[in-house]
Structure formats: C-alpha cells, structure tokens
Amino acid sequence: MRLTLPLLLITLAFGTTHAADLQPLRVANQKSTIKALLEVSGELKDVPYDIQFSEFPAAAPLGEALNAGAVDIGALGDAPYVFALGAGASLKVVSIIHAEGRNTTAILVPKNSPIKAVSDLKGKRIVTTRGSIGHYLAIKALRSAGLSTADVEFVFLLPSESRLVLDNGTADAWSTWDPFTTVVTAQSQAKVLVSGSNLLSNHLYLAATSQAIADKRQQLDDFVARVDRAYRWSNDHPDEYAAAQAKITGLPLEVHLAVANATHMQPVVIDDAVVSGLQTTADIYQEEGLLTRHIDVSQGFDKSFNTLRAPLTQASR
C-alpha cells in the first residue's frame, strides 16, 4: 500500500519505538461517537498502542475529565471548549473537524407553536444544556434579533430530559444539535425556528491535555490522522456509519441515516481565523457573565499538529 507523506512520517516515527513502549491513549468519548466512527471505518485495526475509551453523557463532564487529567484527548464544540479553558484546563486543540449539515445545530419549537421568528421568543422559556453549543446558539440567535438573555428564561437540562419538556409544553423552544434536531423534527414534527449554520462555526475540536502532548505525541499524531481518515470515510459511507451509530444510541436507523446523508465532515486547518472565531465565543460568554474573566483562547491551540495531517481546507467561518 502506498503511504501518503503524513502517514509515512507517522510510520517512521513509530518505527523507532516498540508498541510495548508506548503508553495507552485515554480517549474521552461522548455517546460513543468517536469510538463508533473509528470502529466502523476500520481505523481501530493495527493500532500500535492501546486506546482506552471513557464514556461521557455530554460535553460538560467530558471537559471536566480533561481538566482533571483523567483522559488525554476528547472532542468538544466551541462553547464547551471555552468553558473548559475558563475552568483553567491546560488543553490544546490538536484537530478540528467542520460539520456542514442541514440542521447540525438548531432552535426547535413544537409543531403547533405560535412562535414564527426569534423575536417571538421574548418572554419565553428555552431549554438547552448549560455551556453547550445549544446554549451558545440561543445566545447568538437572540442577539441577532436584538434580544438578550434577560428577555427569555433558560431551563438547563441534558438532551435526554429536554425533549420531554419541549413535547409537554413546559418549554417553548429547545436549542440543541444533531441527532436530536433530526429526532424531534421527524418524530414530534417540531419546527426549526433557526438553524445554526450561519450563526456558529459548527467546528468539533479535538483537545488534548498539555501533559499528553508532552508524553504521548506519537500516539496523538497517529490518533488525529485516524480520526481525519474516519470522518472522510463517513462522508462516502453514510449507510454503514448510520447503522453503527444506531446500534449504540438506540435511536431509529432512519434518524442516523438522515443525519449522515445531510452532513459532511471535513478536517480544517488550525489557523488564525479559527482562533479568532473561538475568541468571539469566549468574549460573548464573558459579556453574558457566564465566564468571570477574560480568556485568551489562542493559548488553547497547537498548530504544530497541522504538519502531519493530510491536505486540509482553510476555515470557512
């Protein structure tokens, strides 16, 4: 098999180290997303080190585990990563995946809701997960309509609880992400009030602890390359990827098929545009009082990981 330059460099690096000498890589996994992807794409074959997956129900506890050094690397959206940095975590983004999709993030309202525009949310209750990308989308959407968070009431719950309060009318809107957007629009006929496609970066950040970067650089280089290849594989094999996810989540296969067919995952360069975009997120959270101090997010990126990756696109947002 012909090796690309990035893979050749990684292969040569591992050639100088016996697999038995490599420490395990501890990967934080949210709802089995990364693990399922790597398994079904074949990227967990012939790994020259042990990958130890830990499961987390949401981004917030995943970020806390990274902060505590209980895991080496995990995937977070814009907002949760900012919160992790705000908590003092010594983290660096080593890889970025951009999700281009129909309703990757969205604010949903019940099918018979009188709410037709974001401005109609004034005085209403919005359910979301505190510190999540859904929370950030709600803030951005309100600002785009000339409203503030003081104009609404937030109800902070995990996604598993949020759908119930939307369906029973306890909340007027739910700000969330896929596959929940697809589940609720398909099963409850909820309406998309606003999509995050033009309000958010829709980036997924793979963040590693500074300790892991210092002690497990070879493993991280290899792992980042495997995740890149796996996401590219998922774009070309939506049926297989959806089937693998459905087995884990318990959601209907058609939900995952809809998400997989409507979403394109693309690795992007860690560049100044990405850093600037995340700085905006951090500044908005500080303005909202959700962060108590200014966070310089530029300290939370490691651009050296760009060099070993396959050709990437520049950040589109």
For the stretch 51-103, pLDDT in tens is 999 998 878 889 899 999 999 999 998 888 998 998 888 999 999 998 887 66
Q: Indicate where the chain has its CATH 3.40.190.10 domain(s).
A: 5-99+202-308, 105-198
pLDDT at 14: 54
For residue 223, pLDDT beyond 50: yes
CA–CA distance, 23 with 87 (Å, rounded to integer): 27
| Segment among 7-11, 25-29, 181-185, 192-196 with least mean pLDDT | 7-11
Domain 5-99+202-308 top-level CATH class:
alpha beta
Domain 105-198 has CATH 3.40.190.10: yes
pLDDT at 131: 81
Q: Is the overall model pTM greater than 0.85, yes or no?
A: no
Do the beta carbons of residue 249 and residue 179 sit within 8 Å?
A: yes
pLDDT band for position 122 (50/70/90)?
very high
Residues 6+ apart with CB under 8 A from 193: 106, 107, 108, 109, 115, 116, 117, 118, 121, 173
Top pLDDT among 154 and 103 is at: 154
pLDDT digits (tens, 9 = 90+) for 5-54: 445 454 555 554 555 589 999 999 987 689 999 999 999 999 999 999 99
Do the beta carbons of residue 30 and residue 58 sit within 8 Å?
A: yes
Strands (E), the chain: 25-30, 51-56, 73-76, 91-101, 105-109, 125-128, 153-156, 173-177, 191-195, 203-209, 263-268
- Residues of the chain above pLDDT 70, percent: 89
pLDDT at 314: 47
pLDDT at 46: 93
CA–CA distance, 189 with 58 (Å, rounded to integer): 25
